[in-house]
A and B are shown apart, each in its own frame.
Chain A
């Protein structure tokens, strides 16, 4: 059974159909990419699956259970994590604290215990500080462990989002354009990072513009155009698909 199944998903904003009858399934352990031109509905699709928007109709199943209409904090407890195309970093906190927040659900969130420096809670927090630092090094933020989030450059913040998502120990990780705005060297590093994450057994769903990166690392690719599913398959299949060439690659490769 697939880890994530999307069936007949629709989303209308007023009269605009941002996502139309999209169906696909993501098998566990894969890197699954969603591509398409600007405005094709990729981010909307992400927001629907991760509970930011509610679909107009259709079903989304995670691990066999329907998750339509569940708020994002509930989805987080099922093991779904994500990053954002337009960064969502808490600039009022340190970089490390941003990562620590990722582990929110695994911690004792009791107000009174927190106020009283409850020993077990302090011990867990001390361990978490180290785990967060390790995660930051894992995503390549070695130099920023003690930084304030507000003092970090754009490329580092993109990695920080990934570290925060990983801190939740997710089963399914959504990455919304992790390489957007990065230079080729940084893109290659993110590429390699996504591979490492997938090799850990975390299923990765990726929205990406950078075709080269997508073709390199994706096990399967879904192509969207004007909110509709245009094609789905492995990288070579998608690359050979005439509809895809016409709609997406056509401009560059025709």
Chain B
């Protein structure tokens, strides 16, 4: 099963376009893939390493706005802007990680929440560059003189991105670095006495997962062609964390399922008109009551597995 997972995912992504009748469904598939990659990165932090970030949309926002602001106002090439945004995000994450990861549990959640909110406020207030609450258009992404446009082209960009991300994350969690991370989740004391420097590992995965989110922010901004401060706000952060929890902590495929389900669900609920938020909330509560460990881990446990 574990060996088959990657080819199966590749096949699904390859054949999916045959089932997508129009650009609305292409768009939905793309949004699923975008969320899946961010959630994958966030799950490394939450599910595997046992830490929390309630400010991840902030990192996504930095990437998105780097790709909007730098090419528009400063004439940067979009790829350079993407890289600069990701590096700036990583730097910011590293700077705040040091004080933040002295905290545990609720305090850590509060600190990351505050960070996300600050980023959203800065984006909203720097209207001169960011267009303030109205947002701003994002120039198209151009690679080697070829401009990526249209849902059909973007689909392949995000599908490839997703496949690569799954591969990287699975490798990482099965490497010495990943085992150390999972060990510090299981028992901080045990990890320490075998030589794991807790602060360093927590910081590394926080930075890495923020870096991930920033790149996805940039690509998403180019895809949609417009960016508003909402991408960086608290509700987006919560949405991402919810996807991690519903899909399953510490599960790579749980991340995918969580992202796909919760991206599709609001679309499926439009017929409830006016009540879709209530229906959404009720479904989440049912999930937490009956599948508290998340969809994929619960099912995996039911069908039994050792190593």
A residues within 8 A CB of B176? 104, 107-109, 114, 121, 125
Given A111-B208, A115-B172, verify A105-B187 contact (CB < 8 Å).
Answer: no
A-B interface contact total, Cβ < 8 Å: 119
Cβ contact within 8 Å between A93 and B189:
no
Cβ contact within 8 Å between A93 and B175:
no
Task: Check: B307 CB closer than 8 A to any chain A CB.
Answer: yes
Given A50-B193, A104-B194, verify A90-B171 contact (CB < 8 Å).
Answer: no
Partner of A151, one of B185, B192, B194, B306: B306
Query: What number of B residues sit within 8 Å (CB to CB) of A?
Result: 32
Most buried by B among A72, A100, A110: A72
Partner of B306, one of A50, A94, A101: A94
Task: Check: A201 CB closer than 8 A to any chain B CB.
Answer: no
Cβ contact within 8 Å between A92 and B171:
no
A residues within 8 A CB of B306? 94, 146-148, 151
Within 8 A of A (CB), among B231-264: 250
Cβ contact within 8 Å between A114 and B172:
yes
Q: What is the chain A residue whose CB lies nearest that of B250?
A: A92
Cβ contact within 8 Å between B193 and A72:
yes
Given A164-B194, A168-B194, verify A111-B183 contact (CB < 8 Å).
Answer: no
For the complex, give the distance between the alpha carbons of A104 and B307 in Å: 20
Q: What is the chain A residue whose CB lies nearest that of B187?
A: A88
Q: Nearest-CB distance from A46 to chain B (Å)? A: 11
B residues within 8 A CB of A164? 190, 194
For the complex, give the distance between the alpha carbons of A117 and B173 in Å: 11
Within 8 A of A (CB), among B204-241: 204, 208
Q: Nearest-CB distance from A141 to chain B (Å)? A: 13
Given A71-B192, A73-B198, A76-B195, verify A148-B185 contact (CB < 8 Å).
Answer: no
Given A114-B178, A148-B305, verify A77-B193 contact (CB < 8 Å).
Answer: no
Most buried by A among B174, B193, B197, B204: B193
B residues within 8 A CB of A50? 193
Partner of A111, one of B172, B192, B193: B172
B residues within 8 A CB of A107? 176
Cβ contact within 8 Å between B177 and A94:
no
Task: Check: B168 CB closer than 8 A to any chain A CB.
Answer: yes
B residues within 8 A CB of A105? 194-195
Given A88-B187, A89-B187, A89-B190, verify A111-B177 contact (CB < 8 Å).
Answer: yes
Given A121-B175, A147-B307, verify A168-B189 contact (CB < 8 Å).
Answer: no
Within 8 A of B (CB), among A50-102: 50, 52, 71-73, 75-77, 81-82, 84, 88-98, 100-102
Most buried by A among B168, B171, B179, B208: B179
User: In which size bucket is the chain A interface?
Assistant: 35 or more
Q: Nearest-CB distance from A43 to chain B (Å)? A: 12
For the complex, give the distance between the alpha carbons of A84 and B192 in Å: 13
A residues within 8 A CB of B175? 113-115, 121, 125
Subset of 28 A-B contacts with CB under 8 Å: A71-B197, A73-B196, A73-B197, A88-B193, A89-B186, A89-B187, A90-B183, A90-B185, A90-B190, A90-B191, A92-B185, A94-B307, A95-B307, A101-B190, A101-B196, A109-B180, A110-B177, A111-B172, A114-B171, A114-B172, A114-B178, A115-B171, A116-B168, A116-B171, A121-B175, A125-B175, A146-B307, A147-B306
Q: Given A52-B192, A91-B186, output 12 extra A-B contacts at Cβ < 8 Å.
A: A72-B189, A73-B196, A89-B186, A92-B250, A96-B307, A101-B196, A104-B194, A109-B177, A114-B171, A146-B306, A148-B306, A164-B190
Interface residues of A (CB under 8 A from B): 50, 52, 71-73, 75-77, 81-82, 84, 88-98, 100-105, 107-111, 113-117, 121, 125, 146-148, 151, 164-165, 167-168
Interface residues of B (CB under 8 A from A): 168-169, 171-172, 174-180, 182-183, 185-187, 189-198, 204, 208, 250, 305-307
